[in-house]
Structures are given as structure tokens and as C-alpha cells.
Amino acid sequence: MTVPRVNPPRRRQRPDLMAWGLGIWVVVFMTFLLFPIAAVVVVSFSSATYIAFPMPGLSLRWYARIFEYRPFIDSLIVSLQIAIGSAALGILFGVPAALWVARSRTSAAALIGNLLLAPISVPAIVLGFSLLYLLSAIGIGISFAALLISHTVVAIPYISRTVLAVYRALPPDFEEAASVLGATRRQTLYHTTLPLIRPGIFAGSLFAVLISLDNLPLSFFFGTAQSNTLPVVMLSYMQSQFDPSIAAISTVQMLIAVTALLILNATYGIDRLTAA
Amino acid sequence: MSLQTVTSLPASAPTRSKGTRFRLASASWALPAVLFLLMFLIAPLVANAFRSVTLGEAALHPLAYYEKLLLDSYYSGIFFTTFKVSLITTLCTLVLGYPVAYFMVRYAGRWNALILFCMIAPLLTSIIMRTFGWRVLLARRGLINVWLTDSGIVSRPLDIINDPLVVYIGLVHVMAPFMVLSITAVLQGVDVRLEESARVLGANRWRTFFHITLPLSLDGIATGCMLVFVITNGSFLTMLLLGGGKVQTLSLLIYQQFNLTQDVGFAAAMGNVLLISAMACVALQARFVRRRGVKA
Amino acid sequence: MVSVPLSLRGISKSFGTVQALKPLSLDVEAGEMIALLGPSGCGKTTTLRSIAGFEQPDTGAIYIGPHDVTELPPNLRNLGMVFQNYSLFPHMSVGENVAFGLKMRGIARADRESRARDLLKLVRLGDFADREIHQLSGGQQQRVALARALVTDPKILLLDEPLGALDKNLRESMQFELRAIQRRLGITSILVTHDQEEALTMSDRVAVMSAGEIVQIGAPAEVYEKPVNRFVADFLGTANIFSGSALAPEADGSWRVALAGTERVEARITTNKALVAGECVTFAVRPERLLIGPPDGPGLTARVRDVVYRGPFLTYELDAAGRTTPLFVYGQARTPVPVSSAVRLTWEPGCAVLLEAHP
């Protein structure tokens, strides 16, 4: 075959089998992930008093039940308070410590860095009852305060981790520039450092809040009649009654989390946050 | 502050102290966190370990509970089950999740944000919701059974819900996003030009994957596996709510023990064993990842 | 090794609404080194990647020797490619990197290792087989990348801005070394670069590209001395652009033109296009072809605005009558002309090249 003189005609693109195969698998996978969640949302609108298909009809009665059955709403509020409170305390403790660990090269800093991240490695149930005994011994016992303390212990590593990653990636040039321009340490912190590491703080706090809202093994030990978190209440309800009200309260909780994430995505973008 | 008048400059440069590099934070900034964690993380765990060798049966024989756990066939059976469940879950999430991660990094393009959202969305829902969802799907009159009987594939509803397999389905469902996100984090750092180099040198797609992509993503695989293994070790909700209680793991045992008995020392010992296994996994991961020393 | 030619016929490629390549044809002779030169976005990288097989052209075909390879995946085309950042496999040693192509072909270990060593000797890294990639300097990595590309005896060698990451001195010595190896092996090569000096130094022919097409292709001297339009003149080196109107042809084929501006100065320009008297012409003269003469001599009146010391020579920036942009002249460092001197500019015959002409 010799090289032709004229240009060959337009060609069809070869289909990329690998891309299509993987793409189909991803669709199957995402269906697998979302299917049970979708099922719960659908069931929450069922008019039956038990879980069965096909659903006899649609109704909002289970959403109304959320307000009738006091423990649901009460515990949702407690969960939100604990989640946000523990994240706030986590920021207060974790951010300054992370800022020091990130720039210090001593072995003490490395050790403290490991300490900051340690709670993630501890199984929640073990931490839960260990902390229960300690807090009882020092008089705090089973209470809202105990819940707050235990959730803060878990929040600190999530916040420290992302702040460490973001701050380490930040060149010290910015703070040095601020210093040359006359800023004191405090001014540098507020005007230069904190704004630049804000994505790290937000990402870590988001993780901490989500983990806290869903943290059953830890909260399980500190529940009182007045202050229980939502997962604990849901579990005990589920073990006695198997009706769609669980579906309704779950859907509400999910909507709160999804809304928060969408707001965060609009302001910062998910890709950047999960990268940190 | 007034400037001192200098009548003459020194002949040579004055000596300055070492380490005048600018640093924003001082060591005292870490103090609150350290004190808080010492008090509410380290102290309770140490006390727990202490209790496990001093209370109840251990008062007479310190290692009584540990012997019971390791030597009694019932308990060693539970260890085996725990290990087996975690291992199988880890392998399943790895095999099922790696292709998803690869697609996300290499092919997804503008769909990446959507896939990422679908990956994260389950993490936003309560684990109770997800487990409840599987019950809804697989119950006697759940969605799957209704479809199967209506379409005539089976004549009677299947008793899936009490099958141990369901526990694995539930665990893989919960753990998969962790594995996928761990792998994508590392896979993103593998330059596509390395794969292109291999292709020009004669490697087809599969060989490129095995010789180049897979070795370079090993860090992500290791991280993902350790993460899934440790979390599965510590989880008990899935085993509690699915599979009819047939899958008995250590965490579930601790939960039940705490509800039923008041044997504090025993619960402490079990918790300690769980803790030590978790620490061992973390240490293993740190050693493994550091030794490879591969910069992406 | 037997050299083969490479032919592109009517290759075009669009990415969404952006047309990266207009239908492009190119014939590279066996054993020739062609440089694809142009600014970012001109399509040179797209062309190279199409030859490699990473981009599928929308139209057209690619022939290596007599074979149409357009449908073949990259691993079956038997090419050698050196990437911009070398793309050496970080988890393999130097020797394993170089031997990789042979491993893919199923060559036995002993044979692979000895051939890899031969190639490492060719690039003067004979003892480096057991080193790790991160232990190498940039220049060494570049040579390993070259050895790796050549190990399978490829018919075509593709170079994607291979020297961009090196510092200046290393770059210059590598240019010579790369060229020497290419000549010695006689392998048909395509070099993609945005560095015009590199293109002129290393290639047999230069294809200057802009906006998806080849604007001019020819030997380095031809493309540099006789640019076909303003873009080529500006892209390769500095060009002093003049405008004027055509007056009358001379016996040797050059044309007399009147320089635009207040001064009525006549100049001679070379052109291979037929001109019509009275047409507006634009032409270029290279800075090294402009001569600075005493103020009472012939030529264009100018004043030295600035002198810049460049090491081997000086660059003069001059303001001339009737011009808004300055003129640049290269001069000898040993006979400098002071700033603010009034001078006259002339150029050697045959050095003014026509770029554009319109009525």
C-alpha cells in the first residue's frame, strides 16, 4: 500500500470499550449506594402502619408523628446542639494545636500530632464506656456535658487533620509578608492565617458534625431521659416498633445534612474540601 | 522607644541567636488540646486497661479475662468471626470500589462532581437509616421480595433478611465510599503521562494497569483497606439489625455485655482487646506506607 | 536500523467547539528530524499526540512507512516517545525503566538487561542501571528517558518539549547530544517545541505552526532568513518591521521601495512575489543585518536610545524617523556606540525580506 496523494474521508470514532464498561459499573454501583436510601424516603410517605410493599397509599402522617412523639424532635435538637457544640470546641482546641504542630520539627510536636489524631483510631464503643466510668468518677456522669465532652474528643482529630494538611501546604511566605508589613502575631493570625486555612477548618468541622450526628456507639452510654441523641432514640424505637416513622425522621435528618452540604458546595466546592 | 544613636558601626557583624525563623504559633497553643485529650482520652483508656486486670475475676488472677477471651472456644470463635467479617468486607470494597475510583479519576471529567456527591450522600445519612433501608428492601414483604413474587421468579418470599450474607451487603454498602475516596486521593497523583509512556512502550491497557497504575496506587489501597478494616472491626449496628443476629462479632458482644451484665472487668478486657487490634492496624499502615516511600 | 518516512494526510481534530487542527498534511523523510514550532495552542502537541495514538483525528490518516496506523492503539505502533517531564516510572529502577519496552515484548530478562545497558552506554549513563529515579538529576533523567524510548528500535521518535525542564547550559549541550544520537541512529524524528532556538539548532526542517495549521516549512536557514509572513518573522527571533511603497523592480529581481515616514529613503528588498508599482509593502530586516554607520553617511536617520549588554554581543535600541516602534540592532561589544548618538542605518543587500503586499 502506498501513501495516497489525496486526503482520506472523514472517519468514525472508535468507541472506547474500557470507558463504557467502567461507566456502566459506576452506574450500577451508584444505584447500589442510593437504592436503600431511596427506599427509605419512599416508605416514609406510606400510609400503612407497617413496612410492606406495595404501599397502600401516600400520606404525611409519619412526618406528623415526628412532632407527636416527643423524643424524636427533642433528640434531634440535642443531636444538633451536640454536633455544633463539639465542632466549635474542636476548633477551639484543635486549630491552635494544629498550627503549632504543622510548623514545628521537634519530636514533641510529632508526638502531640499523633495524639491529636489518635481518637479516630479508638473504636467508639471502647471510648464510650471508658469515658463513662471516668466521667462518673469525677462527678459529671451521664449528662449533656458528658455527651459534649465525648463528642469533642472525637471532633478534635477530624478538624486537626484537615487544618494540618491545609496549613502544611501553605507557604510561610504569606505570614512573613504580613510580618514585614508590620502585623503583630495576633493580626497575622486573624487577617492572614485564618482566612487562608478556612477551607480546612470548614472541611474538618463538616466531617466532625456529620460523624457526631450519626455517632451511636459513643452517645449510647450517656443518654438520659432528657438528653439523648437522635441515633440512640431511633435505635430503641426500631427495636420495639418497625413502622415508617423511622423512615420519616431519617429523611428529615438526611435533608438537613444534604442542605448543609449543598450550601458548603456553593461557597467552597466539594472537590477542594475532600482533597484536604 | 527611642533609637539609640550609633556613633560608629561595629567592625564585624554581631552574633545573632539561632532559629530566628518566623513561626506564628508557639508550643503553648497546643496546651489546651493536650490537656483535654490527656484527661478525656488517655486517662479513660488507661483506667480501662487497669480495670481489666484488677476487677472481678481479675482481682485474684490479673489475666483471667484475657485468658478467657483467648482460650475459650466460644470467644476465640468470635475473634475469628470478627476477623473474617472485616477481611471479607475489606476485600469486597476493594474489588468493587477500585474500578469506580479509576473511572472517577481518569474518565469522569465533568461527571466527577456528581459521582462524588453520590459517594458522599450515603455518608450524610444516619447508619441507622441505611441499615433500615436494607431491611425495607429485604424484609419478607420488602421491595425485593415483592418484585420477585410478582414477576413469578419465586413462589414464596425469600427469607433473605436473616441470612448472614445480608450483613456483608450492609457493611459493604457503608464502607464502600471510604475505600473509593481513599483510592481516588492517591490515584489523582498518578500522572496520566506515566500510563501513556507505558502504552507507547508497548503495554496494552491491562498491562499498563498492572505494571504502572496499580503499584503506584498501592498507598491508597493500603489506606483504604486499613480504614475499612478498622471501622468494620468497631461496628456493631449492622450485625445487630441485619442477619438475624447470626453474625456475632466482638463489638456486638461488648454492646450486649454492657446491656446485660454488670461484669465491668470483662467488658473492659474485651474493649481493650478491640482497642489493641485497632492500634495494631494503624501501626501496620503507618509502617507500610512509609516504607514504600513512593512519591507520586 | 532502516529508516522509514512518516506521512500525515489531512489530519484534523476538534475539541468541542475548538478546532485544534485544521486539515494538516506533512511528509517527513526517512531519517529526518522535523521540528514543530509554534506558540501555545497552535496544535503542535495535538499533532504529536495524534501520531502517538493518544488522540484520534476526526479526519485523515497517519502512515508510518507504507502502513496506515490510524486505527492502531499506541502500544502497537512501535514508536519511541520522550515526554516533557520524562515520565520515568518512579517505582522502578533506571535499568527497569529502560528495559520496560522489551519486557512488554516478552524478551528474556538477561537479554533485556544487556540491551538496556547498551542503551544506557549510548547516553553515557552506563553504570546507572541500578540507581533509583529520584536519585538522578534533571539532565540524567532526560537521558534515561531517551534510552527508554530507543530500546525497542522504534521507527519514529517523538519528542515533546524534551529539554524544557533543564537549565540553559544543560539545555544547549543536550541539544547537541540529542541531535548527534538521532543522526547516528538515523531515526525519523518529530520534535515539538516553543523554543525557536532549539528548533533551529536541532532540526533538518522546521514547520512553523499557528492556529492549527503549518504556516511555513523549510530548512532552518530558509525559515529564519526568508519568513513568508509577519507571524513567522516575529516568532523566530526578533524582526524589524518596515513599511513602504513599491517603486520599481531592479535587474536582479529585487525591488526598490520608498520607506514610509517623513524621509524619502529608498531601499532594496528581495521578494519572490510579483509586485506592482505603488503597492504598500511590509518587509523585515533581522537585527544582525542592520549596520550602524556614521551620521553623515548613507541610510536611515536614527538615534541610539538604549544599549543592552548581552554577553556575546550588544543590543541597540534606536528611534528612527517616521517610526513609532524602535529598531533593534545587534552589534559587537568591542566597538560600542554610545547612547544618544545620531547614526545612520543601512542593511546588507538581500537582507530585507518581503512579508506582505497589498494595493
Nearest residue, CB atoms, B137 vs list A39, A149, A271: A39
Helices (H), A214-244: 216-219, 230-240
| C91 shares contact with chain B (CB less than 8 Å) | yes
Residues C110 and C222 in one domain: yes
Confidence of residue A276 (pLDDT cuts 50, 70, 90): very low
Residues C188 and C298 in one domain: no
Q: How close C356 comes to chain A (CA, Å)?
A: 30
**Half-sphere exposure in the Cβ direction for B229 (13 Å, CA):** 19
pLDDT the model gives residue B33: 93
pLDDT the model gives residue B188: 85
Residues C308 and C218 in one domain: no
For the stretch C50-60, pLDDT in tens is 999 998 899 99
Q: Using a CB-CB distance cutoff of 8 angstroms, which residues of chain A are in contact with residue C70?
A: 11
Confidence of residue C262 (pLDDT cuts 50, 70, 90): low
Residues C61 and C185 in one domain: yes
The subunits that touch chain B, with at least 3 C-beta pairs less than 8 Å apart, are: A, C
What's the mean per-residue pLDDT of chain A? 84
What is the phi/psi pair of residue A204, to 5°?
A: -65, -40
**Half-sphere exposure in the Cβ direction for B25 (13 Å, CA):** 24
pLDDT the model gives residue B292: 46
Cβ <8 Å between B96 and A122: no
Q: Which residues contact A169 (CB under 8 A, 6 or more apart)?
A: none
- Tell me how many degrees the CA angle B118-B121-B127 measures, rounded to the nearest 5: 130
pLDDT at B11 over 80: no
Using alpha carbons, select from C286, C284, C239, C231 the residue that is nearest to residue C37: C231
**What letters, b where the CB count within 10 A reaches 16 and e where it falls short, cover B214-241?**
ebbbebbbbbbbbbbbbbbbbbbbbbbb
- Of residues A10 and B256, the one with the higher pLDDT is B256
* C109 inside domain: yes
Using alpha carbons, select from A133, A126, A116, A117 the residue that is nearest to residue B277: A126
Residues C47 and C175 in one domain: yes
pLDDT at A42 over 60: yes
C214 touches C208 (CB < 8 A): yes
pLDDT at A66 over 70: yes
Rounded to whole angstroms, the Cα distance separating A213 from A86 reads 11
Rounded to whole angstroms, the Cα distance separating B114 from B103 reads 13
The subunits that touch chain C, with at least 3 C-beta pairs less than 8 Å apart, are: A, B
Using alpha carbons, select from C211, C174, C169 the residue that is nearest to residue C191: C174
Using alpha carbons, select from C45, C10, C1, C70 the residue that is nearest to residue C158: C45
Rounded to whole angstroms, the Cα distance separating B247 from B80 reads 11
Cβ <8 Å between B201 and C52: no
* Overall number of domains in chain C: 2
pLDDT the model gives residue B17: 44
CATH number of the domain where residue C277 is located: 2.40.50.140
| pTM given for the model | 0.79
pLDDT at B4 over 70: no
Nearest residue, CB atoms, A13 vs list C23, C56, C66: C56
Beta strands in chain C (DSSP E): 6-15, 18-28, 33-37, 59-64, 67-68, 79-82, 156-160, 188-193, 205-210, 213-218, 240-249, 255-259, 266-269, 280-285, 290-293, 300-309, 314-320, 327-331, 342-347, 353-358
Using alpha carbons, select from C3, C8, C41 the residue that is nearest to residue C192: C41
Q: How close A200 comes to chain B (CA, Å)?
A: 16
Structural domains for chain B:
57-292 (1.10.3720.10)
pLDDT the model gives residue A6: 64
Domain end marker among C234, C257, C277 = C234
Q: Using a CB-CB distance cutoff of 8 angstroms, which residues of chain C are in contact with residue A7?
A: 9-10, 23, 25, 59-60
pLDDT at B296 over 80: no
- Of residues C254 and C232, the one with the higher pLDDT is C232
Residues C105 and C250 in one domain: no
What's the mean per-residue pLDDT of chain C? 89
Encode A19-73 in three state secondary structure: HHHHHHHHHHHHHHHHHHHHHHHHHCCECCCCCCCCCCCECCHHHHHHHHCHHHH
pLDDT at A31 over 50: yes
Please state the rounded mean pLDDT for residues A205-223. 86
Q: How close C10 comes to chain A (CA, Å)?
A: 5
Which amino acid, residue B55? L
Cβ <8 Å between B212 and C89: yes
Cβ <8 Å between A53 and B141: yes
pLDDT at B242 over 90: no
pLDDT at B243 over 80: no
Beta strands in C103-262 (DSSP E): 156-160, 188-193, 205-210, 213-218, 240-249, 255-259
Place of cell 484520534: C56
Which of these ranges, A5-19, A113-127, A162-176, has the smallest mean pLDDT? A5-19
The alpha carbon of residue B271 and the mean position of all alpha carbons in its chain are separated, in whole angstroms, by: 17
Grid cell of C142 as nine digits: 532526560
* C1 inside domain: no
Q: What is the DSSP string of C73-86?
A: -GGGS-EEEE-TT-
Place of cell 472485616: B86
The alpha carbon of residue C90 and the mean position of all alpha carbons in its chain are separated, in whole angstroms, by: 31
Q: Which stretches of chain B sit within 8 Å of chain C by CB?
A: 191, 193-194, 196-204, 207, 211-212, 215-216, 294-296
Q: Residues in chain A, how many?
A: 276
Using alpha carbons, select from A9, A93, C62 the residue that is nearest to residue B36: A93
Place of cell 525591488: C255
Rounded to whole angstroms, the Cα distance separating A222 from B147 reads 42
Q: How close B153 comes to chain A (CA, Å)?
A: 17
pLDDT the model gives residue A217: 86
Q: Which helix (H) or strand (E) holds A263?
A: helix A245-267
B183 touches B226 (CB < 8 A): no
Rounded to whole angstroms, the Cα distance separating A201 from A194 reads 9
Residues C253 and C214 in one domain: no
- Within 10 angstroms of residue C226's Cβ, the number of other Cβ atoms is 17
Specify the pairing of strand C188-193 against strand C79-82: unpaired
Work out the burial of residue A211: count CB atoms within 10 Å of its CB; fewer than 13 is exposed, 13-18 middle, 19 or more buried: buried
Crossing angle between the packed helical segments B164-187 and B127-138, to the nearest 10 degrees: 130
| C53 shares contact with chain A (CB less than 8 Å) | no
pLDDT at B168 over 90: yes
Residues C140 and C272 in one domain: no
Rounded to whole angstroms, the Cα distance separating C135 from A265 reads 42
Place of cell 547614526: C343
* C239 inside domain: no
CATH number of the domain where residue C214 is located: 3.40.50.300
For the stretch C83-136, pLDDT in tens is 888 889 988 899 999 999 999 888 999 999 999 999 999 999 999 999 999 999
ipTM of the complex: 0.84
DSSP code, position C339: T
Q: Which residues contact C309 (CB under 8 A, 6 or more apart)?
A: C333
For the stretch C140-167, pLDDT in tens is 999 999 999 999 999 999 999 988 888 8
Confidence of residue A188 (pLDDT cuts 50, 70, 90): confident
- Within 10 angstroms of residue A194's Cβ, the number of other Cβ atoms is 13
Residues C177 and C221 in one domain: yes
Specify the pairing of strand C6-15 against strand C59-64: antiparallel
Residues C204 and C70 in one domain: yes
Structural domains for chain A:
68-275 (1.10.3720.10)
Using alpha carbons, select from C320, C356, C139, A25 the residue that is nearest to residue B98: A25
- Of residues B48 and C157, the one with the higher pLDDT is C157
Q: How close B85 comes to chain C (CA, Å)?
A: 33
Residues C264 and C224 in one domain: no
The backbone region for C260, taken as left when phi is positive above 0, alpha when psi lies in -120 to 50, beta otherwise, is beta
Residues C190 and C252 in one domain: no
Structural domain boundaries enclosing C334? 244-358
pLDDT at A208 over 60: yes
| C23 shares contact with chain A (CB less than 8 Å) | yes
Domain end marker among C195, C213, C234 = C234
